[in-house]
Amino acid sequence: QVTAKTAFLFILPQYNVSVPTADGELVQYHYGLKDLVTILFYIFIAIILHAVVQEYALDKINRRLHLSKVKHSKFNESGQLVAFHLTSVIWCLYVVVTEGYISNPRSLWENYPHVYLPFQVKFFYLCQLAYWLHALPELYFQKVRKEEIPRQLRCIALYLVHIAGAYLLNLTRLGLILLLLQYLAEFFFHMARLVYFTDENNEKLFNVWAIVFVITRLFTLTLYILVIGFGLPRVESQVLDPERGNFFSFLFNNILFRMSVLLLVCLFQASVMWRFIHFQLRRWREYWNEQSSRKRVVAAAGTKQQTKPLKRDSSYHENGVVKAENGTSPRTKKLKSP
């Protein structure tokens, strides 16, 4: 029994509470320091799954493609993220649909703070934190190039800050919808990179990713404005109460603070869109340059074919001496005197 309790501490979420409802009692969860133990256990699980995907899927494909070292590293990165994003999108979509967060958008801010979480919501957040924390030692295991490490560290830090912030500040419902939108766009991007590495002439999926990216950015910005601008200021409890998990809803009652936060959100989304537009313009410029160079090569080949080669005379010169077709000199031979 002692080992069973210890195993449950690692495997299952802790801090369960029975919450009375109209239909009876409902078991829900809140967060605490014991969550770190559960996250540590699932970090090891994520490392094992990472190795399985690498060994039985990505390495076999890499042997067939014969990619360069740079493309090999990017292919492994995108392959791992495609598997993770696809799993997370399906799991997150199932959670938000079954919990009714999509059918009832008011639930994103109603009854804030959302201190008590259903089992599947808390377990999803713990697994998300475990995955992005496992990505830190994977930088060493995968022997990532030094110039790629700052970019990947920045990406990991952003995901950890957003996921942990939503979890600790009791904004888990809004965080689920934002993660669903973000992971959907990232899935199409890394899928497009995998297709591009297998066939460099196939860039159609990048166009699909561009459309999905713009749509998800618009939905993300709309959600921020809806929840921060209109939802949280209408929450009944507008008093700072850390014990109940109400950290900052009272601040959104101040219109100056609310507008400042919305301005920061809009600026951040604008910077993301600017980088996206810059990337698209550079890609289109490279595409048109490649197309124009191909047309020039085809045109040059056509002109070469049109020019007729000069006919060679039947008699030709060899070392300044005219030769006939059979190689004999046309010069008359002198007869020897008898």
Most distant CA pair in the chain: distance in Å? 140
pLDDT in tens, 162-196: 999 899 888 899 999 999 999 999 999 999 999 98
Q: What is the pLDDT of residue 136?
A: 93
Q: pLDDT at residue 62 above 60?
A: yes
Total count of domains within the chain: 1
Within a 13 Å sphere around the CA of 140, how many CA atoms are in the beta-carbon half? 5
Report the SS3 class of residue 125. Answer: helix
Q: pLDDT at residue 338 above 50?
A: no
Residue 320 lies in a domain: no
- In this prediction, what percent of the chain has a pLDDT beyond 70? 83
Q: How confident is the model at residue 160 (pLDDT cuts 50, 70, 90)?
A: very high
Between CA 180 and CA 177 the distance in angstroms is 5
Residue 302 lies in a domain: no
pLDDT in tens, 314-329: 444 444 444 444 445 5
Residue 29 lies in a domain: yes
Cis link prior to 113 (omega < 30° from 0)? yes
Residue 91 lies in a domain: yes
Q: Is 125 exposed, middle or buried (0-12, 13-18, 19+ CB in 10 A)?
A: buried
Q: How confident is the model at residue 219 (pLDDT cuts 50, 70, 90)?
A: very high
Q: What is the pLDDT of residue 308?
A: 52
Residue 325 lies in a domain: no
Residue 324 lies in a domain: no
Q: What is the pLDDT of residue 314?
A: 46
pLDDT in tens, 229-255: 788 777 766 566 566 666 666 566 667
- In this prediction, what percent of the chain has a pLDDT beyond 90? 36
The domain in which residue 80 lies consists of 1-294
Q: pLDDT at residue 304 above 90?
A: no
Residue 64 lies in a domain: yes
Residue scoring higher pLDDT (1 or 56): 56
In sequence order, what are the beta bridge partners of 316?
Answer: 323
Between CA 209 and CA 190 the distance in angstroms is 9
Comparing CA positions, the residue from 134, 130, 153, 111 lying closest to residue 237 is 111
Tokens of 314: 């039947």
Residue 252 lies in a domain: yes
Q: What is the pLDDT of residue 8?
A: 81
Tokens of 149: 């490490």
